[in-house]
Structure 1
Amino acid sequence: MDTIASCSALIDRFGRRVSYLRLSVTDRCDLRCSYCMPKGFKGFEEPGNWLRFEEITRVVAAFSRMGVGRVRLTGGEPLLRRGLPQLVSQLAALPEVQDISLSTNATQLQKHANSLRAAGVRRINVSLDSLDRACMEKITGRDSLAGIMAGLQAGKQAGFDPIKLNMVVMRGVNDHEIARMAQFCFDEGFILRLIEAMPMGDTGRNSQYQDIGPLREQLVRQFDLLPSAAELGGGPARYWETRDGKGKLGFISPISQHFCASCNRVRMAVDGTLYMCLGQEQKFELRPLLRAGIGDAELEQAIRAAIELKPERHEFNERRQQIVRFMSQTGG
């Protein structure tokens, strides 16, 4: 394997610097959230096509040499991938990787929180769409709330900071719970982020989309919130905070107020496919190159070629039917 010196930053055709890699380690999940994966879905990737830990580390090392310092582990549910702390340790040892975070549904977090924290994960995002047991069972397909709550407490005790709760807002499903969820997060020291459902696959298109703009105005008034200048992870959320600065709310509005002009990320699926945009089909497959013995210099060239495919913006509003893959297949 050849070695090379650090290279210049990854800049796409539209002048955006790519500094953030979202990395799926599995497409499996122990839940079936209604907006993410359909019930009875069987089209999972064969384990033989999953990138091995050493292959993932090579790809992340290549990205990091080109200025990508943030890595988020996603799925499916990433805690279903055996030996995940080992991968985290390998990534944390890369000198250019500055931040390793994790997106999880937290059902398995109670078992793994301490080992992940020790390996190098510092921040976690937890999917939690309701505080009502029956509602969560309807959304996730199983009685999941107690396990998630136990995972959240384990995450706090392990020292993850911040812990963000991601709530996909669905009209007529959980939109009546938003104020309650906000107060829960203020009380527990979590950061709530309200997210608009994206029309990915039939599951995403069938979720009850809710524009979060009016909800933001309502919450700003109710909790006397102020715009926040805090940079919390390099993502697209726009934050507001309580007057004492102790409570924060984030709003992610990919449909009603897209943030494509500042998009700084790409996603890699568990099989090594790079996806340039959630709302477009451009992709680049790295696994065949890795298993053919590609060198480091050629791997960086391949990644740069992939970045050239990154589109200017999604077309969720104009072409809602075009993305047939589910969110779980892309990497959250």
Structure 2
Amino acid sequence: MTSVAPLVDPFGRTISYLRISVTDRCDLRCVYCMQEQMTFLPREELLSFEELERLGRLFIRLGTRKLRITGGEPLVRRDVMRLIETLGSEIAPGGLEELVLTTNGSQLARHAAGLYAAGVRRINVSLDTLDAERFRTITRGGRLDQTLAGIAAAKAAGLRIKINTVALKGTNEDAFDDLLLWCGREGFDLCLIETMPLGETGENRFDRYLPLSTVRQRLQSHWTLRRDAEPETGGVAPGPARYWRVAETGGRIGFITPLTDHFCDACNRVRLTCTGTLFLCLGQEDQADLRTPLRAGASDQEMEAILREAIARKPRKHDFMITEAPPTTQIARHMSMTGG
């Protein structure tokens, strides 16, 4: 097999991690992610599974070792398992090393076994509280029992699970102890995330913003936390979380801090939206349109040239900032559009 030069950005970072959003739709309306009343994209604007497969394979040939399927909620797209199975078949020595998924868990009960069969071994599940009423408030109508049933099915299927929790001041900051204890008992990693200023949600981001430096100090007052240097994936395209081992449970807690302590220097990832836009940074508007040349019949060589030109424009870091005075949102697109 002919060796192909990997994708490397202007700062010497090899791009080995691609996040693919398969839909902007979601069956929840989390207060930090989107508005309660959303207008979603018409179907014809979305990349077909064949187009997503082609781009996925091209990225793999150019050095991508980790693919993450995201949304919106990826499992609400009809027949999405077909795409997951196809991309999972690319897992091989010297090629794709890991296919993972981020989900809200609502559809997991019926898809967990199929995900494992397709080659997925790890998933991230969004869960901001273990209190049913508060869960319903944060998600604007979601059912906690449905998400927990999905998580249980995923565990039974053999999937390794990480729980993602967005820290929201005055909303769920008293939920972290219960989540940490529950995750330790279940064998899940827990990862806390600072809310990010992406898209208009109908909520005041500054009022919700909770620095994780404050959260960690509070947790350390009654939990024994020791830094854990082990990468999240055992070395496969490690993510932005800084992990700590919890002595009392034996589990781990991670902190993703895009605002108080950014993680841009080691960024190895780009994001492909469901419409074929490649975003080079979650917190910048640098992008490349892949759908137009793809649908115009561009060859793989031409698409490769477009990707290399785009990666050559990847910025050093994001410009996320939350301030008390408006505007508090620097990026107009919603998290559900970018894919997290």
TM-score range relative to shorter protein: over 0.9
In structure 2, distance between residues paired with 1:117 and 1:285 = 32
Q: 2:201 aligns with which of 200, 203, 219?
A: 203
Normalising by structure 2, what TM-score?
Answer: 0.92
The reply on whether 1:144 has 2:143 as its aligned counterpart is: yes
Runs of 4+ in 1 over 4 A off after TM superposition: none
- Residues 1:52 and 2:60 are matched in the alignment: no
Q: Give the TM-score of the pair, scaled to structure 1.
A: 0.94
User: Counterpart in 2 of 1:30?
Assistant: 27
Report deviation, 1:244: 7.9
Q: How does 1:51-200 map to 2 (within 5 A)?
A: 51-94=47-90, 95=92, 96-161=95-160, 163-200=161-198
Q: State the shift of 1:301 in Å.
A: 1.1
Equivalent-residue separation in structure 1 for 2:310 and 2:86 (angstroms): 24
Q: Report the residue type matching 1:122 in the other structure.
A: R
1:322 to partner: Cα distance: 2.5
Deviations 1:98-156 (A, max 9, x none): 10000000011001111111111111000000111111111101142010000010000
Partner-residue secondary structure (3-state), 1:175: coil
Structure 2 residue 37 is matched with structure 1 residue 7: no
Q: Secondary structure at the match of 1:203?
A: coil
Decide whether aligned partners of structure 1 residues 302 and 167 sit closer, same or farther in structure 2, where only a CA change above 3 A counts.
Answer: same
- Provide the C-alpha distance between the structure 2 equivalents of 1:101 and 1:131, rounded to a whole number of angstroms: 24
Instruction: Find the aligned partners of 1:143 and 1:61 in 2 and give their Cα distance.
Output: 35
Cα displacement string for residues 211-253 of structure 1 (whole angstroms, at most 9, x for unaligned residues):
0012113323422121101111311000001348831001000
Query: Quick one: which amino acid aligns to residue 331 of structure 1?
Result: G
**Which amino acid in structure 2 is aligned with residue 309 of structure 1?**
R
Closer, same or farther in 2 for the Cα pair 1:205/1:322, shift >3 Å? Answer: farther
> Could you say what secondary structure the match of 2:63 adopts?
coil
> 1:77–1:140: structure 2 CA closer, same or farther, 3 Å change rule?
same
The aligned counterpart of 2:293 is 289
Residues 61 and 281 of structure 1: CA distance in aligned 2, closer, same or farther (over 3 Å) = same
Structure 1 partner of 2:330: 322
Equivalent residue pairs, number: 327
1:153-192 per-residue CA deviation (whole Å, 9 max, x = no partner) reads 000001002x000000000000111111111111111111
Structure 1 counterpart SS, 2:201: helix
> Whole-Å Cα distance in 1 between the matches of residues 333 and 129 of structure 2?
25
Classify the secondary structure of the residue corresponding to 1:176: coil
CA distance in 1: counterparts of 2:226 and 2:338, whole angstroms? 34
Aligned equivalents of 1:247 and 1:81: distance in 2? Answer: 33
Instruction: Give the match for residue 214 of structure 2.
Output: 214
User: For 1:2-61, what per-residue CA distance to the aligned partner results, in whole angstroms no more than 9, with x for missing partners?
Assistant: xx944112110111111110100111000000011101111x222112111121111111
Q: Distance in 1 between matches of 2:73 and 2:202?
A: 18
Residue identity (%): 46
Determine the C-alpha separation between the residues in 2 that align with 1:191 and 1:310: 30
- Distance in 2 between the 1:63 and 1:146 partners? 37
Unaligned runs of 5+ in 2: none
Once the two structures are TM-superposed, the CA of residue 293 in structure 1 deviates from its matched residue by: 1.2
Q: Could you tell me how far apart the structure 2 residues matched to 1:153 and 1:300 are?
A: 41
The Cα RMSD (Å) is 1.7
Higher mean alpha-carbon deviation, 56-65 vs 149-158, is at 56-65
CA contact (8 A) 1:6 1:66 kept: no
| Structure 1: runs of 5 or more not aligned | none
**Aligned residue number for residue 230 of structure 2:** 230
CA contact (8 A) 1:134 1:143 kept: no
